[in-house]
């Protein structure tokens, strides 16, 4: 590590300390990182002059003589991150200040012919052109995909494959001069839930995102396995039947073919509940949840079927890596409390019971937009950008 790198990383650490503890003083930072007071003073002055930090005035109670400590805060006005969330139905572009507050959310509905990388890039360009008096630290793209940045490859079962292929390359070309990050959607949701929810930083959990596809991320000891690339766990392709339905991935009986929103119609037929949803097209989790609320027997039966398959997989996942919480996010939450109840019931007798019985099954607490904040916080917690 050369001296310049060392200085930059010290500066980033000081910035992080101020971000995570607003109002912290120079002396407290020096103590926390065991830096000399001179080092802290010099680097804080640089952070202030570069517009990352503000000096918020005197600390209330001061007892020592000499220079009185002052409170340091993140400057929320001069720098920002642009956070882009590309989903199946919507393109969401927003900005995050350096405290992670999201604002200026712009939503562009996507139809099939528009859902391509060039359209996304064009909209982000236009968004950036409208921004004034603020420096963009980075552009974060959130994708419903597995991201292999070194190979410049994205694979997604949701977004159009041909269009996705050149996306990383195109984005890097068009936004040349900016830092760019590509994150997996489930990872960003999991990170937001873990940072903003009621969980302890050391709690281990399995976050499961159930929409058309199914994604999952393990957080062990506060760390996401595989980072935010989504490359480590492929829950959607966990096979529950090696002779089951063939999947695009090449496997058979993948969980996505049993529980994903796209296969609801077929599952309804399988349990003889199809007639209930005759006039609903496409059939979504919320439609089933609505009928279940009214105790419609067909809807309840369908939920039991889905929960049975999901519970089987979750119990096995917990057997491989024990977790304290299994957090369910995504549209499947619209299936309601009965779905959770059935999952809890269906894990009984599957997998290593001491592990399974220790796990708590809950729905994610944060709303859909928390994904933007999740990406912003993940970036600031893991990347040096100052």
Query: Which positions lie near Zn ion, rule CB under 5 A?
Result: 237, 247, 249, 251, 254
> How far apart are CB 247 and Zn ion at their closest, in Å?
3
Helix axes 26-33, 37-49, angle to 10 degrees: 120
CA pair distance 42, 35, nearest whole angstrom? 11
Closer Cβ to Zn ion, 254 or 370, answer by number: 254
Closer Cβ to Zn ion, 237 or 284, answer by number: 237
> How far apart are CB 211 and Zn ion at their closest, in Å?
15
Closer Cβ to Zn ion, 62 or 160, answer by number: 160
> How far apart are CB 257 and Zn ion at their closest, in Å?
7
Tokens of 223: 């760390």
* Total residue count of the chain as it appears in this document: 386
Closer Cβ to Zn ion, 17 or 247, answer by number: 247
> How far apart are CB 241 and Zn ion at their closest, in Å?
12
> How far apart are CB 254 and Zn ion at their closest, in Å?
3
Tell me if the bond preceding 282 is cis, omega within 30° of 0: yes
CA pair distance 101, 288, nearest whole angstrom? 35
> How far apart are CB 208 and Zn ion at their closest, in Å?
16
Closer Cβ to Zn ion, 81 or 217, answer by number: 217
Q: Is 295 exposed, middle or buried (0-12, 13-18, 19+ CB in 10 A)?
A: exposed
Closer Cβ to Zn ion, 213 or 330, answer by number: 213
């Amino acid at each position: 590590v050369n001296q310049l790198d060392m200085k930059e990383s010290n500066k980033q650490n000081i910035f992080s300390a101020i971000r995570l503890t607003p109002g912290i003083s120079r002396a407290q930072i020096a103590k926390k990182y065991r830096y000399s007071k001179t080092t802290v003073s010099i680097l804080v002055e640089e952070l202030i002059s570069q517009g990352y930090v503000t000096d918020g005035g005197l600390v209330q109670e001061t007892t020592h003589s000499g220079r009185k400590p002052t409170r340091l805060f993140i400057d929320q006005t001069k720098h920002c991150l642009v956070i882009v969330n590309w989903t199946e139905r919507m393109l969401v572009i927003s900005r995050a200040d350096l405290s992670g507050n999201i604002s200026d959310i712009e939503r562009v509905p996507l139809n099939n012919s528009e859902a391509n990388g060039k359209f996304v890039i064009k909209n982000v360009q236009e968004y950036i052109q409208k921004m004034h008096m603020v420096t963009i630290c980075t552009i974060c793209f959130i994708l419903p995909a597995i991201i292999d940045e070194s190979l410049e490859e994205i694979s997604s079962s949701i977004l159009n494959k041909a269009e996705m292929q050149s996306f990383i390359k195109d984005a890097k070309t068009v936004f040349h001069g900016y830092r760019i990050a590509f994150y997996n959607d489930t990872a960003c949701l999991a990170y937001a839930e873990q940072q903003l929810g009621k969980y302890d930083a050391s709690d281990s959990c399995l976050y499961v995102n159930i929409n058309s596809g199914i994604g999952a991320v393990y957080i062990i000891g506060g760390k996401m396995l595989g980072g935010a690339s989504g490359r480590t766990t492929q829950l959607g392709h966990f096979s529950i039947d090696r002779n089951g339905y063939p999947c695009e991935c090449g496997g058979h009986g993948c969980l996505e073919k049993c529980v994903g929103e796209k296969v609801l119609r077929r599952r309804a037929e399988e349990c003889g509940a199809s007639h209930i949803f005759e006039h609903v097209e496409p059939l979504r989790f919320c439609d089933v949840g609505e009928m279940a609320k009214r105790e419609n027997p067909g809807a309840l039966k369908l939920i039991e079927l889905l929960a049975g398959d999901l519970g089987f997989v979750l119990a096995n996942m917990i057997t491989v890596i024990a977790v304290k919480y299994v957090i369910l996010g995504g549209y499947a939450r619209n299936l309601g409390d009965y779905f959770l109840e059935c999952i809890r019931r269906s894990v009984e007798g599957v997998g290593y019971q001491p592990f399974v019985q220790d796990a708590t099954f809950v729905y994610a607490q944060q709303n859909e937009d928390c994904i933007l904040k999740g990406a912003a916080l993940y970036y600031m917690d893991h990347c040096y950008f100052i």
